[in-house]
Structure 1
């Protein structure tokens, strides 16, 4: 009886994932309007679903997790057609009893969502570096400059190429090493990660491969990889960063700076780096005259940073002196925030739904890799 009641009243948990035809149509929209949002390319994650406007000029990409219809970033396509995609997405959510929510939306996109009855909550800021204005000169860049020069003197070298220009055998090595360096078995990412490194369809993504000096020139061992997805015709957005834990400290900073210095040669004018949650709290809370509530909130976030990279991500991005662009979460009712937060954590890979122990699954009975 309990099982029947549960099956009858539970919300629909899954929808049809994105089809190849949907992906092709989304790529056409990204070619036309992809420079508007640095997170636009991540709408191509294949576990997402998509709702189209009646004209086909805009779409909302989303995923249903725990009864929450979770969209990410701004709608794809022409901003004038965004309402035509938002309305059917909200209608579908209400039809199936899902809670609508949007993660990582920009101020422009959040304004459009707010016109459809959603409230906004600032999550943090995205670090964007304008390559023409980036420089290592000046006292403020002293620490970064010293780290960069130290790694460079150690003999590390970086290659910057589009995925399509990397030979198949070398790409296989990059994928294998990146998988070995992954922290844990879960592939994290939903709103700001593509989750399929090396896919042939993503040939315009940019790969940075860093090798040490090695025993002879050109024979260095692979130590780290960075992958960026396209952000319109002249921008890049960080997708993945992995490194050998035994490599030189400051290696990631060295690679990012190498990209920023070479960006004009490959036609890149702006680079989106990591997202820093609650960035304004850390910045304002450390200033002279900060109020007791703000200082307490900063201390609480610093405490939780021991387990989650909250403050460290802010510090890691601030050293490049970026432009900070706020990102928001959109929701319908404040009472749904806890459920939305859990759904977002599951979608990003920080939480796993309870299930059978791993030793009970057939796939875990063989020899471990």
Structure 2
């Protein structure tokens, strides 16, 4: 019996074909980067940069004193204790998610969360501990011992400056959108959408309710699961992972969940909020999961975010991060790596019709956040192809065939 292949509309196939053709020069460009810059030197130029460079370039047979701990298990009490003291980054709590491995300093007072994909060690944000530079130096030495190419993903300006001074390639890949609290008020034309959402929710009998997902009623959790399932079905694409939360990330007593519920008890939307700590105290929250019913209350997401901001401000939080969106930012291209940054932006244009990263970033702008750049850093420009493949694998582990099929379907749905 001859195989049956899916038949896509001709215009959908043409659209998909054109998108794939856009990716061809990106692929060739990455390969050209590998061979052109294969011998590019690294010359540390600062006292802090030298130990970082030495830790990565030292002999593979060298063994650091104290034999650091390398764990593949989930987060333990020791790691959570460190997070509660030093997890000051908006992405710090993402280090507790499944898929991460952990490298601990010999004294266990600092750690790095990472995952190894194709011999590339991709970190989940910054090192956590009292001395991030020391922790980072030890982690890079361990990468060298293991034969891994280190990739520091979604790190801030300080880490980027340190690694760039050591000759590393650093590219901006996102912006962290942060809203200072303490004097936030939804007044003036700027916050018209937030006021409208709050007023419409009040008129429609929709309220914002904080819940503990693990202890919530079975009916409530079932509705949250339905909201997430329908949201994904409407997109027609696999759910991304790595630094983007999913339903499983709600199963944590430290993660707060805010749902929009009408008078009949129907859940229209759900958001989750990750804690940010300093010195054992929660000082802020990071918006993570955002899901809503396609046919639910129209302003549900604006309503939930506005309600959360006001509540968290009343509780004394210093700030809220709306988190970063991959491949979406407003900053100008750095002249040092114009070509590679252009490759990233070309990739963003190809993926935008599918995942809408730029649209999501534009949506968050209505809350008038302050922006901080987030970077990806790796030792040599010639490592760009393997690093890019590793990051893609982190977001979609083991699901490339599913992604290709879903991508074709998504294009078919958008053009049929």
Q: Does the 8 A contact of 1:51 with 1:85 survive in 2? A: no
| 1:173 matched residue in structure 2 | 222
Q: Distance in 2 between matches of 1:343 and 1:333?
A: 15
Q: Does the 8 A contact of 1:65 with 1:346 survive in 2? A: yes
Offset at 1:186?
4.2
Q: Distance in 2 between matches of 1:324 and 1:73?
A: 17
Q: Does the 8 A contact of 1:54 with 1:85 survive in 2? A: no
Relative contact order (alpha carbons < 8 A, sep ≥ 6): 1 or 2 greater? 2
Gaps of 5+ in 2: 1-68, 334-340, 406-416
Q: Distance in 2 between matches of 1:319 and 1:60?
A: 34
1:283-340 Cα offsets, whole Å, 9 max, x none, are x79xxxxxxxx99x98995675222323202211100000111111111111222321
Matched, 1:106 2:151: no
1:26 to 61, 73, 79: 79
Q: Does the 8 A contact of 1:30 with 1:41 survive in 2? A: yes
1:52 to 90, 100, 104: 104
Q: Distance in 2 between matches of 1:129 and 1:306?
A: 28
| 1:312 matched residue in structure 2 | 359
Query: Is the alpha carbon distance of 1:352 and 1:331 closer, same or farther for their aligned partners in structure 2, counting shifts above 3 Å?
Result: same
Greater CA drift, 89-98 or 167-176: 167-176
Matched, 1:222 2:222: no
Map 1:287-302 → 2, pairs under 5 A: none
Offset at 1:178?
4.5
Offset at 1:60?
0.8
Q: Distance in 1 between matches of 2:134 and 2:140?
A: 11
| 2:128 matched residue in structure 1 | 76
Tell me the SS of whatever aligns to 1:279: coil
Greater CA drift, 232-241 or 115-124: 115-124
2:185 to 135, 138, 144: 135
Q: Does the 8 A contact of 1:181 with 1:242 survive in 2? A: no
Q: Distance in 1 between matches of 2:347 and 2:167?
A: 32
Offset at 1:278?
3.7
The total of aligned residue pairs comes to 321
Greater CA drift, 244-253 or 179-188: 179-188
Offset at 1:265?
3.3
| 2:135 matched residue in structure 1 | 85
Tell me the SS of whatever aligns to 1:51: strand
TM-score normalized by structure 2?
A: 0.68
Tell me the SS of whatever aligns to 1:188: coil
Query: Is the alpha carbon distance of 1:174 and 1:167 closer, same or farther for their aligned partners in structure 2, counting shifts above 3 Å?
Result: same
Q: Does the 8 A contact of 1:188 with 1:195 survive in 2? A: no
Gaps of 5+ in 1: 1-14, 214-218, 286-293, 359-369
Q: Does the 8 A contact of 1:274 with 1:313 survive in 2? A: no
1:42 to 94, 105, 109: 94
Tell me the SS of whatever aligns to 1:77: coil
Offset at 1:180?
2.2
